[in-house]
Amino acid sequence: DVKVTQSSRYLVKRTGEKVFLECVQDMDHENMFWYRQDPGLGLRLIYFSYDVKMKEKGDIPEGYSVSREKKERFSLILESASTNQTSMYLCASGLLGDTQYFGPGTRLTVL
């Protein structure tokens, strides 16, 4: 079974803090993705990566950055958290041309 894990299920941070969200997959997938999910807005792609050290902007990259130093690990960084970044963050991985497998999600609250 494909396993995608995320470092935290729930996280509470203060405005202006630097936030790291970590994602690890165990299936040797080339592609990894970060989404945020908000009521009424659905899933929105923040960043994705095709390979180690490669990254591509998704639909809403502003205020976020990513890091992929190892194939199995993809990190999302909020340089200076703001209240409008309160959301459910979902990581996914997959092979090129194949479907995506999602992690359990991190519910981030920024106060």
Partner 1 sequence: QKEVEQDPGPLSVPEGAIVSLNCTYSNSAFQYFMWYRQYSRKGPELLMYTYSSGNKEDGRFTAQVDKSSKYISLFIRDSQPSDSATYLCAMSSSSGGSYIPTFGRGTSLIVHP
Of the residues 34, 47, 48, 74, which one makes contact with partner 1 according to CB under 8 A? 48
Query: Does residue 102 interact with partner 1 by CB under 8 A?
Result: yes
Contact 35, 108 (CB under 8 A): no
Residues 71-100 that bind partner 1 (CB under 8 A): 88, 90, 96-100
What is the Cα–Cα distance from 91 to 101, expressed in whole angstroms? 8
CB burial of 22-61 (b: ≥16 within 10 Å; e: otherwise) equals: bbbbeeebebbbbbbeeeeeeeebbbbbeeeeebeebeee
Closer residue to partner 1 in complex, CB, 94/110: 94
Closer residue to partner 1 in complex, CB, 60/88: 88
Note the residues at the interface with partner 1 (CB under 8 A): 4, 31, 40-43, 45, 48, 88, 90, 96-105, 107
